[in-house]
Amino acid sequence: MKDNTIFYKLGDNLYVNITNRCSCDCVFCIRKNGDSVGNAATLWLEREPTVEEIKRDFDTQELTGITEIVFCGYGEPMERADDVVELCGYFKTKTTIPLRLNTNGLVKLINEEFDVSRLSVFDFISVSLNADNPVDYQKLSRTVFGEVSFKSMLEFAKDVKKFANVAFTVVDFNGLDTEKCRIISDSVGIPLRIRHFEG
């Protein structure tokens, strides 16, 4: 089943689902478990909505009680990096609700020309660390770019923390050594959040 659900609510957050494309195929990804998240029947898009369609849909959203607007759906938001930046600018003309980006941190491999300073439009950025070394990272993330992805993700996180609040996340999955991940996060001065695997 496919739909064109752009915005969905989970808890006190409003999430923005703008693409199903992703350069990763993470073994623990929630989209492997079903179609629905929060109040959305499905996050599988029939097609990617245009920026203007997203803006129009945003204008219909009830924002009362919403504490955060989060770019996170069934794909990697930074597959549409320029659109994400434009949409953040638009959202900020309509509300003061904080904006968050959930990302795999591989935008420089997706689009090497992208200037990460443009992500200063976000209040908070969550980067998927996933593992403490390139080999395990690739086993878990299964990126199209291979083991170089781990280094690129770390460099992205270090660069973007100059412009926004950043945290790493890992999923406590299949014996992952979270303490080694914490050593990595501490070494670059970025806090780590451990997420529980939802299988």
Sheet with 68-71, strands from edge to edge, namely: 7-10, 13-16, 68-71, 99-103, 124-128, 165-172, 192-196
pLDDT tens digits for range 8-49: 999 999 999 999 999 999 988 776 565 556 566 678 899 999
CA distance 9 to 126: 18
**Alpha helices for the chain (secondary structure H):** 51-58, 81-94, 107-110, 134-141, 148-160, 178-187
User: Which whole-number Å values give the CA distances from 184 to 33, 165, 176, 196, in the listed order?
Assistant: 29, 17, 13, 19
Q: Which residue has the tokens 């638009």?
A: 90
- Rounded to two decimals, the pTM is 0.92
pLDDT tens digits for range 85-124: 999 999 999 999 999 999 999 999 999 999 999 999 999 9
